[in-house]
């Protein structure tokens, strides 16, 4: 992935770095990567071509996030509902995942990026599980941008999973019911130890969160765009952040 290696620390000439406040960069940005299929259909291509193009877009987003100093980037890659798609499309997505990790992880590692997976990876094909574990082990000590890839992930199933773990601990007298609060509950989610997203971005024109990080986005700022994911670039990420920086986040209070 020479593009990332050569340009990780070199700002893209077309990107609006001058008008962004680098002292108010969101710590955690979450993105619902949507619109691959429609991007392909618009061009008379198979849906798998859209997914491949989406992988190309991901490179620029990771690079730009690292340049801006974003600490956490969470990407909705494959949901628990995506298993309903045609089998050949699901298989192609899994193969793309394996190919992406196998091809890109060394370059990401050399650029201090840490790969983290959120979701039920036990439900993924063995080949995907192996590449995931390999990427995690290679990058786990890196101190740069942390990329959370949501695979076989659903916000509701995540909450149910956390409740079951809590219930077992209460049943085994390992936890007092009265001690359970938001902080303790958050510690049993896939994102334990990760701050909630400051900004949630969804391209493709859809205006919903689609079961992504339901607990974690309680106070996130939302930014929607009609651009399909394969056409989404670092300059669009920067526009979202510039808009974010104009907002007044009160968390229910008054300023």
So which residues are the catalytic ones? 34, 82
- Judge whether 80 and 154 are in contact, CB under 8 Å: yes
Pairing of strands 199-202, 28-32: parallel
Q: Where are the alpha helices (DSSP H) in the chain?
A: 2-7, 36-42, 47-68, 87-110, 126-139, 155-171, 182-186, 234-245
Q: State residue 125 phi and psi, 5-degree precision.
A: -60, 155
DSSP secondary structure, 180-232, as one string: --HHHHHTTSTTTTSPPPSEEEE-SS--S-TTSSTTTTTT-EEEE-SS-GGG-
Greatest CA separation found in the chain?
Answer: 59
d(CA 93, CA 146): 22
- Alpha-carbon distances of 110 from 57, 113, 167, 236, rounded to whole Å: 20, 8, 42, 26
CB neighbour list of residue 28: distance below 8 Å, 6 or more residues apart: 70, 71, 72, 73, 74, 194, 195, 196, 197, 198, 199
């Amino acid at each position: 992935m020479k593009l990332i290696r050569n340009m990780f620390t070199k700002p893209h000439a077309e990107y609006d770095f001058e008008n962004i406040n680098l002292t108010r960069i969101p710590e955690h940005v979450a993105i619902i990567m949507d619109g691959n299929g429609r991007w392909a259909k618009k061009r008379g291509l198979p849906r798998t071509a859209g997914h491949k193009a989406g992988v190309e877009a991901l490179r620029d987003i990771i690079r730009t996030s690292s340049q801006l100093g974003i600490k956490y980037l969470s990407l909705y890659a494959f949901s628990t509902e995506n298993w309903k798609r045609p089998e050949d499309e699901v298989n192609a997505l899994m193969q793309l995942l394996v190919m992406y990790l196998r091809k890109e992880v060394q370059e990401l590692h050399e650029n201090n990026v840490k790969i983290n997976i959120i979701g039920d990876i036990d439900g993924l094909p063995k080949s995907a599980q192996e590449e995931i574990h390999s990427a995690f082990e290679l990058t786990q000590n890196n101190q740069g941008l942390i990329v959370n890839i949501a695979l076989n992930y659903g916000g509701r199933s995540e909450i149910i999973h956390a409740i079951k773990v809590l219930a077992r601990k209460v049943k085994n007298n390992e936890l007092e019911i009265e001690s359970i609060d938001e902080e303790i509950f958050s510690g049993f989610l896939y994102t334990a130890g990760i701050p909630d997203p400051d900004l949630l971005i969804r391209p493709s024109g859809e205006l919903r969160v689609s079961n992504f990080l339901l607990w974690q986005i309680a106070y996130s700022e939302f930014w929607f765009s009609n651009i399909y994911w394969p056409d989404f670039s670092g300059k669009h990420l920067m526009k979202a952040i510039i808009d974010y920086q104009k907002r007044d986040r009160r968390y229910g209070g008054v300023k």
